[in-house]
Each structure stands twice: as structure tokens, then as C-alpha cells.
């Protein structure tokens, strides 16, 4: 099974996993890269892989994931604060 075939078979239900897919291949060509990226690979590296490059890609993906989680938490906090202010302003009448 090729890496692209594996990407095709992965379930799409886990958004965190889908944002973290890195394809490492020994068949570097444009068609394979486009196909891998179309199946949600976020990076396309060639073998023999440079371990430093692979680590950098992984670190970047993890940092992006942390930033997205922080932003999501900030948005949630903002919405909760806004709802609390509305509830206090209305005296709780709309609840």
C-alpha cells in the first residue's frame, strides 16, 4: 500500500489528525505531491528524509495546533463573557 492509498483510506472524522498528516515518500514527483495534498497531507517530504526538516515540520504543525486551540479557547471565553453581560443587563429575564 502506498502512502497515498493510506491517506485515501483514513477516516475523516478526526480533525486534529487530518491537520497533522505528513507524507514522506521515495517517489518524489509533482503528480504524487498533488495527489497527497489533495488527500489532506499537510507536508510532502522526500526520502531519504532529513530528520531536522521532519522535526521542523512536526514542530510547526504542533505550534499551529496550539495556536488554534488557544484561539478557540479565547473565542469561547469571549462568548461566555458576552452572554454573562447580556444576562446581567437583562436581569436574567431571557433565561
Q: Is residue 90 part of a domain?
A: no
Expressed as residue numbers, the domain containing 8 is: 3-66
Query: Does residue 40 lie within any of the structural domains?
Result: yes
Q: Model confidence over 55-94: pLDDT tens digits?
A: 898 898 889 889 988 998 888 888 888 887 777 777 655 5
Per residue in 18-56, pLDDT (tens digit) is 677 888 888 788 888 888 888 888 888 888 767 888 889
Give residue 94's pLDDT. Answer: 53
pLDDT of residue 67: 92
State the CATH number of the domain containing residue 57.
Answer: 3.40.50.2300
Cα–Cα dist 48/50, whole Å? 7
| Residue predicted with more confidence, 16 or 78 | 78
Nearest alpha-carbon partner for 21 in 35, 89, 70 = 35
Beta carbons of 48 and 24 less than 8 angstroms apart: no
Amino acid at each position: 500500500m502506498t502512502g497515498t492509498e493510506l491517506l485515501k483510506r483514513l477516516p475523516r472524522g478526526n480533525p486534529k489528525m487530518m491537520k497533522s498528516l505528513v507524507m514522506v515518500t521515495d517517489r518524489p514527483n509533482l503528480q504524487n505531491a498533488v495527489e497527497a495534498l489533495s488527500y489532506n497531507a499537510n507536508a510532502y517530504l522526500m526520502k531519504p528524509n532529513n530528520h531536522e526538516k521532519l522535526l521542523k515540520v512536526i514542530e510547526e504543525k504542533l505550534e499551529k495546533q496550539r495556536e488554534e486551540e488557544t484561539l478557540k479557547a479565547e473565542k469561547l471565553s469571549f462568548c461566555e463573557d458576552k452572554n454573562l453581560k447580556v444576562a446581567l443587563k437583562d436581569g436574567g429575564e431571557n433565561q
